[in-house]
Structure 1
Amino acid sequence: MVKISILIPVYNAKDFLYDSIPSLLNQTFTDIELICVNDGSKDNSLEILNEFASKDSRVKVIDKENGGCGSARNRALDEASGEYIYFFDPDDMIENNALELAYDSAVKNDSDVVIFKANIFDKNGISNRETFFNYNRTIDKKDFGNLSFNHIKRYVLKGGYAPWSKLYRKDLLDSYEDFKFNLGLAFDDVPFHVKTMLRANRISFINKFLYHYRVDNVNSVNSTSSNGFDIFKIIDIVKDILIKEKCMDELKKEFTIFQVHHMLLYIISTNSADYYETTRQRFKKIDGSYLKDNIYLKSYFNLVLEYEDYDEFKPQYEKLVLENKIMRYENRINKLKKDNSKLKKENYQLEKENKNLKKINDDLINSNSFKITKPLRKIKNVVNK
């Protein structure tokens, strides 16, 4: 048994493999196996994978017919022998000490799941914008070594669904029969994420950027125009999970925001009257009061309910997007004005204090005692030299 099994679904990734695979093989943590599943690639990805396997015994290659990312990950899971499981996408990169830090955290904290932060990169380099797994911003906890179930439950549906910023204890995955990725669906990592976050007893978080997610891969399968309809199925699957795990009552608000947000996310990119109508009918069954604290989401939600026809809705939606952008900018400007006003007051106080200190200093210099002791100070300075 190795310590970490790294599972890599590969589809037409020839342009990236000579960068991504070495970032794994050159890890400071070496007790690993790479299970690379060639998912019916039409380029020479399989040839490149076999080349790596011929040079490093830790690389194992499985060739199968195309079935999608989920099927490739499931196949790799069946073959994995590691104490921990790590999923990796073949067009991305990882810091060379990422697995060492993740494994040490898992062992130290007895964690079922270890989470670390990810940023984005393209041909221009890495951007340190915090784009994934920003628990340090959302959870009021100084010690990120262990996040208990109660600490993160309300954040389970707020993003960070991808599995490549998490290290999983294999015993956790093996203890449930349904720890598989849904087949034939886009966004299949969402249900997997929800199940692991709800079922993990102990979760640790590393407040560092260890994973770099590529955003300029033109061959990426994440096409919202063609996959948008799958979000309805994903929402239903997540709903069933919450009910099964007896969390729906507690997470009713979070689930409402989750489904409204995701249906709206693809309402324009699909550009479909059928998608719009499905969204509208679902919105009619949703209690909008759960959105009262999110004025932007609430405004889009109400707009969908207001317009029956997609062609009438679309220009109003675009107008609302612009209005909300203006509102955000105005709010930001108002905040900056308040901050500036506060800084002006602080600056005024500092100037006032500085003026008082200067007056005290001038009074001291001009005092008789200061003048009388001047010769003594000169003698002291000579002695000190």
Structure 2
Amino acid sequence: MKQPKISIIVPIYNVEKYLDECMLSLLNQTLEDIEIILVDDESSDNCPKMCDEYANKDKRVKVVHKKNGGLGLARNSGLDVATGEYVAFIDSDDFIDLDMMETLYHVAISEKADVVRCGLKFYSANCFKERHDVITKQVFRGRNQVDDFLLDFVGPKPECKRDVKYMVSACCCIHSRKLIEEYKLRFMSERLTLSEDLIWAIDLYTKAQCIVYLPYCFYAYRMNPTSITHNYNMDKYKRNHKFYALIEEKLSYCFPKERYINNILRSKFHYVRIAISNFARQ
């Protein structure tokens, strides 16, 4: 069987009201040479049946049914069966433009990139609000440029007017599966740390030699108030401490402390503001 150009991994947990919209955007991609891996994380709604129905209708769809373990471990289950040249992660309550995978893949091949990222648009009440991290195509090539990008990804320098220079998401991008498997990279569970996406990015970007950032907002992020991103609880403080200790440990292997400390502090200040805001809304 021919190797797919991209494996799209979709962790699924109790999202039956959104899953059809997500899947329509994947099945109708202009890049047809893909595989779609649906990871049912022990959903209690109609999602397991829906996943199997999609697989019966389209041979590009694979289904993994697993015991509930959360988003990060569901992505890992998808990685274990992925066969594509590149890997994409799509959250099952979101959806993407039909030309997203084709555009990112062609850029990855032409630039020999390990990662190609794009912008996203927030979706709520049938309206979109685009977030542009770059206004033109940016290519970060070689260790110095990729390191600078990574540290800005952790947290921008004090002079940056945005608390977040680059959106910390593993979803609005494709990643070299060869690089992932060469270094045996996998996600941590979000139940153990504050942001599994940032830990993933540090592990991957410290190995990457080329990252491309496109200005197009292909990814539609649904503003879902019930998602784990928008929920607040006291346990997040414990995970917050572990999270930043882990970030500092990982960065210390690659950089002197004076190189990354301001980036971590900026990220911490941003988190505190978000936590206070979420608490006030409850």
- Shorter-chain TM-score: what band? 0.7 to 0.9
Q: Quote the residue 1:149 is aligned against.
A: 146
CA–CA distance in structure 1, aligned partners of residues 257 and 179 of structure 2: 22
1:184-203 correspondence to structure 2 within 5 Å: 184-185=191-192, 186-203=194-211
Q: Quote the residue 1:19 is aligned against.
A: 21
Q: Are 2:42 and 1:3 equivalent residues in the alignment?
A: no
Q: Which has the higher strand share?
A: 2
Q: Which has the higher helix share?
A: 1
CA–CA distance in structure 1, aligned partners of residues 28 and 269 of structure 2: 42
**Offset, 1:270:** 5.4
Per-residue displacement from partner, 1:105-150 (whole Å, max 9, x unpaired)?
A: 100000000010001112322223x1xx6033xxxxx652555415
Residue number among 164, 188, 197 corresponding to 1:182 in the alignment:
188
Give 1:193's aligned amino acid: A
**Offset, 1:255:** 1.7
Decide whether the 8 Å contact of 1:39 with 1:64 is kept in 2: yes
Cα distance change of structure 1 residues 63 and 251 upon mapping to structure 2, 3 Å threshold: same
Residue number among 158, 165, 172 corresponding to 1:165 in the alignment:
172
CA–CA distance in structure 2, aligned partners of residues 235 and 220 of structure 1: 22
Instruction: Give the number of aligned pairs.
Output: 261
Q: Determine what percentage of the aligned residue pairs are the same residue.
A: 28
**Offset, 1:235:** 0.9
1:354-369 correspondence to structure 2 within 5 Å: none
Cα distance change of structure 1 residues 18 and 100 upon mapping to structure 2, 3 Å threshold: same
Q: Are 2:202 and 1:206 equivalent residues in the alignment?
A: no
Cα distance change of structure 1 residues 5 and 248 upon mapping to structure 2, 3 Å threshold: farther
Higher relative contact order (CA 8 A, sep 6+): 2
CA–CA distance in structure 1, aligned partners of residues 256 and 109 of structure 2: 28
Decide whether the 8 Å contact of 1:118 with 1:209 is kept in 2: yes
Structure 1 residues without counterparts, runs of 5 or longer: 137-141, 272-385
**Offset, 1:199:** 2.6
Give 2:188's aligned amino acid: N
**Offset, 1:247:** 5.2
**Offset, 1:41:** 0.6
Give 1:209's aligned amino acid: C
State the structure with more CA Rg: 1
**Offset, 1:256:** 2.1
Per-residue displacement from partner, 1:213-239 (whole Å, max 9, x unpaired)?
A: 000x24312212255222221111111
Give 1:144's aligned amino acid: Q
Q: Are 2:133 and 1:134 equivalent residues in the alignment?
A: yes
Per-residue displacement from partner, 1:145-184 (whole Å, max 9, x unpaired)?
A: 555415524412134111011110011111223x211122
Structure 2 residues without counterparts, runs of 5 or longer: 156-163
Residue number among 36, 41, 44 corresponding to 1:42 in the alignment:
44
CA–CA distance in structure 1, aligned partners of residues 19 and 213 of structure 2: 28
Give 1:38's aligned amino acid: D
